[in-house]
Structure 1
């Protein structure tokens, strides 16, 4: 059995790691001798996809093949130390730490390549004839496990806030820890033997070695940004060809300014989304995304992107336009948003860094009915194409950022004012003249008569 390392000491294993495209992975099992005790994770080692497959082999060959995958959107090895030390006795990983220490067999991998974790679910599904159960609206009492057949339970944990120091991030991690504890305890009480994988899709924080030169640091930052968005786009096919491509690095909604619904993982990673209602034609395209039980209190959620392809005589070419977005909650409540600033030549795809309901975004979703005012939409790095897709790939992207951004306008106006001041000053200097006559000191003095 591999020893269960205390979570406070996990961060000490990675002081020399340079790349940050890795996440921790915690594994434990109710069966003994699940992993070779000679397994050693070297300092700074990042487990590759091939190495991870070899380490997971015992899970595929065990007698009772019941596997639980706890998948979080973001997690870093430093989170265990930071949250354990920053909040005193309030340890948000209490259940995970106790389970690791008490499990008959456990294994801690401080750094696993994000490429391996992104496609982990596909690897697990291909490894055997599992009965796959996606758990999004967790109710332990209703969790059904047939011990006579292999079961793969995928538990989607709550997403974390964008700011790692936000108190809501601590609350989300603590709630996820409770979920892990409840599921583990319930399966143990039923007498079911099982194994657990707890990991994330991408890291929650980005730390780098301080001894690299500035040029290398910039290269790493660029590579990390590219790597963080390496999962493939969602595609809709009709027959043998792709008619819609959709991608976003963050796809989230907020209902009634309180309930956050992060649909990124369900849309692009686990693809726990129904796209069967999508429609494609040469002039109109509808991307329909249906989710079942995305959060507590919402049984179904459908999001529609309505695009048109029209010919405009002024430009003498066809343009594709996303003109309407609809949100349907529980099949009844319909929210409509008019779209501002999302159009591109029909042969191109459309890309925008920020799209949503905020007035600060370059591409806006404007509520057009009362129900739409109850929703906030946040989409980062949106890229969408609904027409003329070739080889299942995005065409050249037409970006929403114009040539004259607010910053450029401010610089231009300021430059024009300073140039006008300079021109006026030069003009005034050139208008200066000297006196044509001067007082002669050798001539007679000026006499001024004085009268009473």
Structure 2
């Protein structure tokens, strides 16, 4: 396994050559790598690496970021990949400087031309998600989520301050290998760096991920008894849910892989609220939240979101008794946005519901594609906003402890895949039944001609 230690990569040594030498007898779990470099001629400050096997925490990352931005350019490029592990560099990188075999030629070239770039192989997984918010706080500006085409149309100030975020996918689909995905992401990195170079804009760049592509859970024998035990899947939640308490009792829970809001002002601008909402670096405030036996209201308060000083994301839920089912159900009635005195409202009561003693979970809750959230009225400000909640789960009533109750999933039982399987099975059953029926209708002949007997005489007319 790859050892967890931090190291510096100097301009004369290829990035992957150094990575190939970092094999120790250790194991990394719940960690992502982070690469930081600057444009040519703008060196980063030197840092003493921590001890081998040490995992870089959020506070240490903040010290690295602060030191870098005090001396390096403040035009920051953040390449945020969905998933990434150090194994991706060692498996798909060019071994011993062989760039022809590498999936990261542009990244390696950027590190080679930079002075004192920094690579952190073992960064705490939840802390990596807080990097966008950390950079936003240090720079004092909101992030811009762009692609290379949009960046080419912008005109940046060489001495100005900007936070440009580029989302990079990591697909595991059968028709696209991880190497092909990583190679495509590296091409995006190369395009962005070439645009910055052509415009003469110095920059400081970060390359990291939201979560690891391979998670290895280490089990301590000191905490678990030796003997037979049932296998149990580890939890997929990298951080605890948002928890609102009334007194000493928890009454509202909210968790999501990410909460994304997009606002249209000449063009769509997107902001991810996940790093500010969840994890150890969360800055969200729950002021204004409330709950009782029939209504719950979770208010998430933010600052400086997409250029708005005050920004609130509100989830309004209610619980009522339905005689038809003879039980209580809770619904997510509305999702509201309040920003600098304005409001945008989305309705969701007809689509988002669950038994009152359950939680509600959905892989994707959006207001624009397969929408579960609908604008309250065509003239409402909601037309200027888009909401997207990934791996969304919420519970507003009958919360026990600090964990969600059994989840009522939004996915219907008869999915398209199930329908395809049922129809295909039915067609095969019909073909089999028809063939069996035809076989059962076959009858053997009850008389046969005797080949040794006299031939049949057929009279012919002369």
Match of 1:282 among 289, 293, 298: 293
Q: Find the counterpart in structure 1 of residue 262 from structure 2.
A: 254
Offset of residue 13 of structure 1: 3.7
**Greater mean deviation of Cα atoms: 403-412 or 364-373:** 364-373
Q: Find the counterpart in structure 1 of residue 426 from structure 2.
A: 416
- For the 8 Å contact 1:159–1:262, the answer to whether it is kept is no
**Greater mean deviation of Cα atoms: 365-374 or 162-171:** 162-171
Say how many residue pairs are matched. Answer: 374
Matches within 5 A, 1:207-286: 226=235, 229-256=237-264, 258-269=268-279, 270-286=281-297
Offset of residue 248 of structure 1: 0.8
- For the 8 Å contact 2:315–2:332, the answer to whether it is kept is yes
Q: What 5-or-longer segments of structure 1 have no aligned partner?
A: 102-106, 125-131, 144-154, 185-196, 209-221
Q: Find the counterpart in structure 1 of residue 222 from structure 2.
A: none
Offset of residue 414 of structure 1: 0.7
Provide the rounded CA distance (Å) in 1 between the counterparts of 2:250 and 2:195: 40
Provide the rounded CA distance (Å) in 2 between the counterparts of 1:204 and 1:232: 18
Sort the Cα spacing of 1:140 and 1:242 in 2 relative to 1 into closer, same or farther, 3 A.
Answer: farther
1:303 aligned onto 2:313: yes
**Greater mean deviation of Cα atoms: 335-344 or 411-420:** 335-344
1:366 aligned onto 2:382: no
Q: Find the counterpart in structure 1 of residue 363 from structure 2.
A: 353
Instruction: Give the aligned CA root-mean-square deviation in angstroms.
Output: 5.3
TM-score for both structures, normalised by structure 2: 0.61
SS of alignment partner, residue 419 of structure 1:
helix
SS of alignment partner, residue 278 of structure 2:
helix
Provide the rounded CA distance (Å) in 2 between the counterparts of 1:309 and 1:290: 24
What per-residue deviation string (whole Å, max 9, x for no partner) do you get for residues 376-422 of structure 1?
Answer: 33222111111111222222222223332210111011101110111
Match of 1:162 among 155, 161, 169: 169
Sort the Cα spacing of 1:423 and 1:176 in 2 relative to 1 into closer, same or farther, 3 A.
Answer: same
Q: Find the counterpart in structure 1 of residue 106 from structure 2.
A: 86
SS of alignment partner, residue 293 of structure 1:
strand
Provide the rounded CA distance (Å) in 1 between the counterparts of 2:77 and 2:243: 23
Offset of residue 74 of structure 1: 3.8
Sort the Cα spacing of 1:423 and 1:31 in 2 relative to 1 into closer, same or farther, 3 A.
Answer: closer
Sort the Cα spacing of 1:260 and 1:317 in 2 relative to 1 into closer, same or farther, 3 A.
Answer: same
Q: What 5-or-longer segments of structure 2 have no aligned partner?
A: 1-6, 95-101, 144-156, 171-181, 217-232
Provide the rounded CA distance (Å) in 1 between the counterparts of 2:256 and 2:262: 17
Provide the rounded CA distance (Å) in 2 between the counterparts of 1:443 and 1:355: 87
- For the 8 Å contact 1:158–1:176, the answer to whether it is kept is no
TM-score for both structures, normalised by structure 1: 0.62
1:344 aligned onto 2:354: yes
Sort the Cα spacing of 1:439 and 1:310 in 2 relative to 1 into closer, same or farther, 3 A.
Answer: same
Sort the Cα spacing of 1:417 and 1:383 in 2 relative to 1 into closer, same or farther, 3 A.
Answer: same
- For the 8 Å contact 2:11–2:112, the answer to whether it is kept is no
Q: Find the counterpart in structure 1 of residue 324 from structure 2.
A: 314
